[in-house]
Each structure stands twice: as C-alpha cells, then as structure tokens.
C-alpha cells in the first residue's frame, strides 16, 4: 500500500532511528533525528508511533523523544542468557577490593563495545561508566583488546596480542586512564575484556606495575571459570615474579 513502510526497509529505518542516540544523550528532537537518519520527518513520526507502542521509544516533550524501557528489559534478558554474572561479578568485586579502582567487563557488538558488568570503586575520584554503556571500540583500552583478539585485529595491535595487556593513557578522556586484558571462554574463544579504570593520576607507571599482576591473576581465574586456557596469564605472572 502506497505511503506505508514495508518489510525489511521499515525495520532498517526504525533501527536507524534507535541508532541515532549516542552515549549519554537522554533525548533527541524530531529535527535532530531527521538530520542524523536522513529520513523525512513524516516517516520518522510513523515509525516512532510503532516503536512507542512496543516500549522502544517514549515522547518526553512535544517533538522530543527518548529510548524506552524495553531496552532495559531486554538488556536484563541478554545478561541472563549469557549466564556470565555468577562468574564475572565476584571477580570484579575482588579486583576492586584488592586495588581500589573501578573494574568492568566489556563485550564487543560490531564496531561498538558494551559495558556488561561493572563494580565501582569507593574512592571519591573514579571513572564514570555504567552497565549498559555502549561506546565505539576506539579509542579506548578495552576496545583495543576486543579488536586485537578478533579476526579483524590488525598488526598495529601485535603488542597487545603478545602481552595480553594494554595500558590506555587518557585516549578516550584526558583525565581517565585504564588497563585491560582479554577474557577467554570454552574453545579459547574471546568472551570479552576486563578492565580497571580511574583518574589518570591513579594510573602512573608505578601504579600500573602494581595493578597489573592483580588484573592478570583475575583474568586467569575468570578465563578458567569460563572454560578457557588461563596459561597465557599464568606464564606472564610467573615471568613477572621471576623478574
């Protein structure tokens, strides 16, 4: 029928509207959505009506829209289906207790990374991140790790593949630094990346050398729990001890 959205085209356009929202943007105007999607306002309004009915979007003011509660519901379902929380969260808690810095676990979603689990530092100064945060792979230490141990990781990431470790010195935010390692599951498939992060003043070269063994030990334990091979981490811990 003329004027109606059909099949895959309608789905693609609806997803384009959803993908228009960027990190920490609470709402977007119809004008902003039109500029970002390249769609006519009339088309956007029709698609948003469907998205609203299913809880994917909500009108916050005349001509202004936000993502709806359906994403929180499906986010919980996604976490439950992975059955990772029973393994990951205790390791993150232990890491925070040992180091005092915020710890998190990220997974890759295309060219984005998602903070799946996070345990915050109790320090007054700490990095600002939330479970469910979705950010580009780069810049950032966890993104480099996720990319390095994926099929599309290039030779510029060889050092990370060799060391199983990366130190991000304020690449994403000039005042925030982090260290990160890969985590593997059964079949030695990449399960995600685990990080510690905080103010850049907390991650001096001396501090990183202190934090690194704790993070590598946590990576070995979590990888083993998920059915992966912990030996790369254990070997690097032994070499550090021998040195």
* CATH number of domain containing 43: 1.10.10.10
**Do 108 and 17 belong to one domain?**
no
pLDDT tier at 93, thresholds 50, 70, 90: very high
Report the alpha-carbon distance of residue 227 to residue 60 in Å, rounded.
Answer: 45
What is the model's pLDDT at position 2?
39
Specify the pTM: 0.67
**Residue 1: inside a domain:** no
Ranges 2-6, 20-24, 148-152, 159-163: which has the least confidence: 2-6
**Do 33 and 138 belong to one domain?**
no
**Do 79 and 172 belong to one domain?**
yes
Show the tokens assigned to 109: 């979603």
- Mean pLDDT score, 223-233: 92
What is the model's pLDDT at position 80?
60
Which of 18, 35, 68 terminates a domain? The answer is 68
Report the alpha-carbon distance of residue 82 to residue 92 in Å, rounded.
Answer: 17
Which of 16, 38, 68 terminates a domain? The answer is 68
**Do 162 and 106 belong to one domain?**
yes
DSSP H or E segment with residue 220 = helix 205-225
Report the alpha-carbon distance of residue 84 to residue 192 in Å, rounded.
Answer: 11
101-128 confidence digits (pLDDT tens)? 999 999 998 889 999 999 988 765 555 6
Over pLDDT 90: what percentage of the chain?
61
Domain that holds residue 116: 74-242
Handedness of CA 225, 229, 230, 233 (dihedral sign): negative
Which of 51, 68, 85 terminates a domain? The answer is 68
What is the model's pLDDT at position 78?
64
**Do 120 and 208 belong to one domain?**
yes
SS (H, E, C) 118-187: EECCCCCCCCCCCCCCEEECCCCHHHHHHHHCCCCCCHHHHHHHHHCCEEEECCCCCCEEEEEEEEEEHH
- Please check whether residue 187 is in contact with residue 92, taking contact to mean a CB–CB distance below 8 angstroms: no
Ranges 31-45, 121-135, 162-176, 196-210: which has the least confidence: 121-135
């Amino acid at each position: 029928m003329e004027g109606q959205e059909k099949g895959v085209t309608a789905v693609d356009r609806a997803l384009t509207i959803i993908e228009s929202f960027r990190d920490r943007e609470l709402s977007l105007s119809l004008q902003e959505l039109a500029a970002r999607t390249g769609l006519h306002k009339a088309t956007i309004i029709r698609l948003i009506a469907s998205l609203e009915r299913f809880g994917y979007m909500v009108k916050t003011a005349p001509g202004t829209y936000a993502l709806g509660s359906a994403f929180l519901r499906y986010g919980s379902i996604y976490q439950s289906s992975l059955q990772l929380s029973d393994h990951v969260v205790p390791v993150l808690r232990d890491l925070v207790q040992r180091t005092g810095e915020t710890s998190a676990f990220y997974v890759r979603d295309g060219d984005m990374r998602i903070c799946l689990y996070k345990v915050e530092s109790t320090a007054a100064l700490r990095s600002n991140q939330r479970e469910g945060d979705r950010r580009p792979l780069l810049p950032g230490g966890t993104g480099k790790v996720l990319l390095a141990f994926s099929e599309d990781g290039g030779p510029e990431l060889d050092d990370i593949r060799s060391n199983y470790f990366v130190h991000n010195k304020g690449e994403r935010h000039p005042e925030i630094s982090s260290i990160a390692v890969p985590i593997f599951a059964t079949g030695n498939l990449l399960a995600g990346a685990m990080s510690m992060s905080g103010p850049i003043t907390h991650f001096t070269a001396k501090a990183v050398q202190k934090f690194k063994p704790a993070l590598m030990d946590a990576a070995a334990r979590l990888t083993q729990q998920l059915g992966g091979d912990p030996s790369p981490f254990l070997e690097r811990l032994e070499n550090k001890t021998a040195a």
